[in-house]
Amino acid sequence: MNPQDIAHRPGESAIFIILGLPDYAKAQAPVKDFLGKAPALVRSLANRFPDLGISLNLGFGAQAWTGLFPNRPKPKELKPFEEIKGQKHVAVSTPGDLFFHLRASRLDVIVELASFISADLAEVSVPIDETHGFRYLDSRAIIGFVDGTENPEAEAALKAAAIGEEDPEFIGGSYAMTQKYLHDLTAWNQLPVEEQEKVIGRRKYDDRELTDEAKPDNAHNVVTNISSEDGEELKIVRANIAFANPSKGEYGTYFIGYAGTFSTTKRMLENMFVGNPIGNTDRLLEYSRAISGTLFFVPSKDLLAELAED
C-alpha cells in the first residue's frame, strides 16, 4: 500500500504548513512539478542527515483535490470539514488547500525543507498557517500530560490510519484531520492535579490510566473511546505536538489524527464537542479552544507519484 508516514510517532520537532491556492488551474503545473520533486528533496536531506528521522507528509483539501485533478475520482469521505457546533463548544472549520506535515529530531532541517516548499510554490499559493511544534519534556502535551500513549502501534497503526479495500483506488491513503488548539493554561494550572487527572482520565506524573470507576463520563479518554457496532474499539493515529509563545501567553496543541475512515475521527469530535449523550462534552474543552479545523487527504506514495505524472 506504500503509505506516507501516517502511522508514526509525533517526532521531536514538527512543522505544519497549510497553503491556499487562489487559482487551481494556474496551480496545476507547479503543484505537479513539486510532487515530482518532493521525494528527492526529502531523500537528499535524509542522506545528508541520516539520523534525524526526516519525513514529509503531503495532503490535499477537498476543493483542491477536485481543482487540481479534475479527471480523477475523489476519495469517498473527502469533503470540506463541516463545523461541529455543540451547546457550549465549536469545532470550527477553516480553509486549506495544500497540507505539509514535516517531522525530524531537529527543527533546523525541517525549516530548510519548509523553505524549499515555500520557494517552489510561492507563485501560486498563499500562506494560511504555519505552526512550529516541539516535543515537550517526556512527550507531554503542553498541559503536562503524556500524549500518545493509547495510540495503536505497528500493524494496528497502519490499519487505523490507512484507507483499505473499502475504497480500492485510494488504498494506503489517509484522512488527516488537523486542529489547532489554544489552552487557558492559567485556569488549567489553578486546577488541582487530581482534578486535571479526572479531565484526562490518566495520572499526570506516571501516565497510569485511572480505573473505569474513577473516570468521570466527561473525561477526555472516555469521550474519545469509541467502538463499532460489533464492539471493536475504533482507533486513529494521533501525532499531536505542543507549540508555545510564552511571552504572549500562547500555549497550544496542534492536533493531527490520521484515519482510514474520517467518520471515526468525526465521531470522536462529535463526542467531544456535542456530547453523547448530548451535553456530556469533553471537560478538556473547558480549557482548550479550537481555532482551526481542516480535513486533508494524504495519498499513498504510489498515488503521489502518479499525480506528478498526470
Binding residues vs ligand HEM (CB under 6 A): 141, 143, 145-150, 179, 181, 200, 202, 220-221, 224-225, 238, 240, 253, 255, 257, 265, 268-269, 284, 288
Residue 243 C-beta: closest distance to ligand HEM, Å? 11
Q: Helices (DSSP H) in the chain: which residue ranges?
A: 24-48, 62-68, 107-121, 154-161, 185-190, 193-200, 220-223, 262-273, 301-309
How far apart, in whole angstroms, are the C-alpha atoms of residue 23 and residue 27?
Answer: 6
Residue where the block lists cell 467531544: 272
Pick 174 or 288: Cβ nearer ligand HEM: 288
| From 147, 207, 212, 302, active-site residue | 147
**Which of 33, 43, 90, 35 lies closest to 60 in space, CA to CA?**
35
250-259 vs 237-238, strand pairing mode: antiparallel
CB of 177 vs ligand HEM, minimal distance in Å: 7
Smallest gap, in angstroms, from Cβ of residue 19 to ligand HEM?
23
Q: Which C-beta is closer to ligand HEM: that of 125 or that of 292?
A: 292
Q: Which residue, among 20, 2, 135, has the nearest Cα to 67 in the 3D structure?
A: 20
- Residue 164 corresponds to which cell in the numbers above? 483499505
Helical axes 24-48 vs 301-309, angle rounded to 10°: 130
- 112 vs 286 by CB, closer to ligand HEM: 286
Residue 102 Cβ vs ligand HEM, minimum distance, rounded to whole Å: 20
Q: Does 147 qualify as catalytic in the annotation?
A: yes
Q: What is the Cα–Cα distance from 224 to 270, expressed in whole angstroms?
A: 9
Among all residues, whose Cβ is closest to ligand HEM? 150
The residue written with cell numbers 483542491 in the block is 64
Q: Which three cell numbers stand for residue 203?
A: 495520572
Nearer to ligand HEM, 99 or 145 (CB): 145
Report which of 131, 90, 129, 75 is spatially closest to residue 251, judged by C-alpha positions.
131
Based on CB atoms, which residue is closest to ligand HEM, 132 or 238?
A: 238
Least Å from the CB of residue 205 to ligand HEM = 13
The residues annotated with a catalytic role in the active site are: 147
